[in-house]
């Protein structure tokens, strides 16, 4: 339920008497909500674990390349020009491949984060709409994207969003196990 801020502002300026009379507004801080909902905390932990794993792998690969370069530099003078060139070319190829893997890993992690956050934000939208309807709010702005500089905390519906989200989508909930059906003849 995100509305382009300039359109909302134009509506308020066009109908100032309506704006002062019955128009109730609210705002939500989606970034704060994302950090506070249990599912967001779980997603953040999973993403951090994935990022840490990739970082460890890349650091190990970088160390191996650095060590191999030191060996190549030390032993290079004892090699023929052809062998030295071949080994250095091979090292450069591995360095380029490592760089490409690092870039690919970063893109994959960013995409994974985008997908995880989109799932959560998509679940938040109907909750925000429900809060707005229940409280008679004509508009709910996203604190950051709307350019909201100041609003009284009484207009902040973030806490209610987090409460309802956690109630509706408990994180870490496992589906209930289905008991096997036993037939009278003893078979499954």
Of the candidate ranges 2-6, 129-133, 151-155, the one whose mean pLDDT is the lowest: 2-6
Split at pLDDT 50, 70, 90, the class of 161 is: very high
Instruction: Tell me which of 174 and 147 has the higher pLDDT.
Output: 147
Q: How many CB atoms lie within 10 A of CB 131?
A: 20
pLDDT score recorded for residue 20: 54
> Once rounded to an integer, what is the mean pLDDT over residues 131-156?
91
Q: Where are the alpha helices (DSSP H) in 25-37?
A: 30-36
What mean pLDDT, rounded, does the chain reach? Answer: 84
> Once rounded to an integer, what is the mean pLDDT over residues 23-50?
94
CB 140 within 8 A of CB 128: yes
**Token reading at 170:** 């408990």
Give 37-70 as a DSSP string: SHHHHHHHHHHHHHHHHHHHHHHHHHHHHHHHHH
Split at pLDDT 50, 70, 90, the class of 137 is: very high
What lies within 8 Å, CB to CB, of 162 at 6+ separation is 33, 36, 37
Percent of the chain with pLDDT over 90: 67
Of the candidate ranges 36-50, 57-71, 146-160, 172-186, the one whose mean pLDDT is the lowest: 172-186
| Beta-carbon-side half-sphere exposure of residue 1 (alpha carbons within 13 Å) | 22
Helix (H, G, I), strand (E, B) or coil at 54: helix
**Whether pLDDT at 4 is above 90:** no
Percent of the chain with pLDDT over 70: 80
Q: Distance between CA 21 and CA 95 in Å, rounded?
A: 66
Of the candidate ranges 5-14, 93-102, 139-148, 151-160, the one whose mean pLDDT is the lowest: 5-14
CB 140 within 8 A of CB 27: yes
Q: Distance between CA 25 and CA 69 in Å, rounded?
A: 62
**Whether pLDDT at 19 is above 70:** no
**Whether pLDDT at 13 is above 60:** no
> Once rounded to an integer, what is the mean pLDDT over residues 158-168?
95
The torsion angles phi and psi of 15, rounded to 5 degrees, stand at -120, 65
pLDDT score recorded for residue 180: 45
In this prediction the pTM is: 0.69
- Residue extents of the structural domains in the chain: 16-168
CB 173 within 8 A of CB 39: no
């Amino acid at each position: 339920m995100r509305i382009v801020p300039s359109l909302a502002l134009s509506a308020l300026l066009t109908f100032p008497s309506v704006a002062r009379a019955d128009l109730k507004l609210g705002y939500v801080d989606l970034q704060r909500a994302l950090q506070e909902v249990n599912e967001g905390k779980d997603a953040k932990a999973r993403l951090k674990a994935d990022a840490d794993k990739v970082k460890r792998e890349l650091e190990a690969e970088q160390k191996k390349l650095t060590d191999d370069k030191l060996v190549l530099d030390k032993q290079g003078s004892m090699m023929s020009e052809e062998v030295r060139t071949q080994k250095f070319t091979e090292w450069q190829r591995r360095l380029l491949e490592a760089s490409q893997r690092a870039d690919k890993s970063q893109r994959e992690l960013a995409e994974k984060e985008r997908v995880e956050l989109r799932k959560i934000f998509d679940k938040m939208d109907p909750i925000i709409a429900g809060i707005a309807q229940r409280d008679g709010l004509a508009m709910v702005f996203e604190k950051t994207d709307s350019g909201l500089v100041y609003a009284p905390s009484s207009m902040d519906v973030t806490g209610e969003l987090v409460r309802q989200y956690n109630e509706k989508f408990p994180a870490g909930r496992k589906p209930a196990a289905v008991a096997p059906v036993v037939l009278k003849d003893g078979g499954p």
